[in-house]
């Protein structure tokens, strides 16, 4: 391979590949609710780290006490990372199974800071209501 072909390959192919990676990342962020922190970290400075997403379970169930179970802890971690409806429903079913409750109301919240006013708020990403079919 001569020098001009190598130079053109380095000048055009590698930057084109990086642009494709960025486009795929942004597509997944907007369609699959992939965290901006994953997949190369493009946009990681545009939102608060996903570990600060809050899981809230109504009816007095403590998230901290549930995280002692490793299966639930891993499920919560995945839910915080990619807070979509599918993950939320899977986690809610797992919590229902482990706690043996009749029903559950689970929510996932994302922290948000208004850069102009400095006001900290939370935004509801998704919520699910489930009833235990097999009590």
Packing angle between helix 85-99 and helix 70-81, nearest 10 degrees?
160
pLDDT in tens, 38-57: 655 666 666 777 888 899 99
Verify that 125 and 62 share a domain, yes or no: yes
pLDDT in tens, 4-45: 888 888 888 888 988 898 888 778 777 776 666 665 566 666
Verify that 28 and 54 share a domain, yes or no: no
Range(s) of the domain holding residue 112: 48-131
Total domain count for the chain? 2
Verify that 43 and 25 share a domain, yes or no: yes
Verify that 1 and 57 share a domain, yes or no: no
Verify that 99 and 78 share a domain, yes or no: yes
Verify that 10 and 64 share a domain, yes or no: no
- pTM assigned to the model: 0.68
Verify that 34 and 92 share a domain, yes or no: no
């Amino acid at each position: 391979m001569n020098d001009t072909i190598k130079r053109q390959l380095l000048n055009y192919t590698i930057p084109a590949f990086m642009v494709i990676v960025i486009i795929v990342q942004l597509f997944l962020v907007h369609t699959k609710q992939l965290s901006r922190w994953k997949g190369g970290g493009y946009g990681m400075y545009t939102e608060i780290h996903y570990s600060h997403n809050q899981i809230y379970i109504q009816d007095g169930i403590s998230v901290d006490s549930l995280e002692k179970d490793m299966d639930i802890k891993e499920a919560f971690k995945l839910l915080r990372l990619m807070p979509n409806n599918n993950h939320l429903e899977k986690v809610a079913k797992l919590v229902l199974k482990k706690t043996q409750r009749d029903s559950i109301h689970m929510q996932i919240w994302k922290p948000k800071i208004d850069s102009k006013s400095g006001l900290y708020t939370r935004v509801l990403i998704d919520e699910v209501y489930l009833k235990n079919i097999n009590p």
